Amino acid sequence: MFQGKVLGIYTAPARREPMVSQDEVHVVPGKGIEGDRYFKGNATYSDRPGPHREVTLIEIEALDALEREYGYRLQPDLSRRNMLVAGVPLNHLIDREFTVGGVRLRGLLLCEPCANLAETSGHTHIINHLMHRGGLRAEILTEGVIEVGAEILPADQD
């Protein structure tokens, strides 16, 4: 069991555009986060459709470990993930449903770091440093609004 929290929400209007901090976002099943590059279909991997592009999450604990273990801080917007969360064991949510505020999500697969992240962050070794702790790709199951500060719970606990 866990009880987490959304610390930050980020979207980008197009591929390679900077992530912009949002106080709240509207999410739509099968589409993603309204206003985000994947929702609009103009992202790096938009040619590979599927629910694994709807929303991504990363743990603040992973970014803290990166700084502690390797000596550099990756700012949440540079992670290129949509949500910065605390207190949520993202790796354990694959094939599990959970709620973020009033929205239900399903964890699909780990969001492993890639060459694009290495390029945009300016840290060439980040791929190895964040391997298996680079976040989670999730499918949106119910439409709604997610805001900073929203509680995150396992679906069977909401």
Q: Model confidence over 89-128: pLDDT tens digits?
A: 999 999 999 999 999 999 999 999 988 888 888 888 988 9
105 forms bridges with which residues in the sheet?
A: 98, 140
Task: Look at residues 115, 146, 110, 139 and name the one whose alpha carbon lies nearest to residue 128.
Answer: 115
Give 156's pLDDT tier (boundaries 50, 70, 90). Answer: confident
Tokens of 40: 């609009």
The burial of 48, by beta-carbon neighbours within 10 Å (0-12 exposed, 13-18 middle, 19 or more buried), is given as exposed
pTM for the full predicted model = 0.93
Number of neighbouring beta carbons within 10 Å of residue 78? 18
SS3 82: coil
SS3 34: coil
- Report all structural domains of the chain as residue ranges with CATH numbers, in order of start: 4-150 (2.40.33.20)
Report whether pLDDT(45) > 70.
no
The DSSP secondary-structure symbol of 131 reads T
Task: Look at residues 105, 63, 90 and name the one whose alpha carbon lies nearest to residue 2.
Answer: 90
Whether the CB-CB separation of 148 and 6 falls below 8 Å is answered with yes
Distance separating alpha carbons of residues 63 and 139, to the nearest angstrom: 23
Tokens of 51: 């629910």
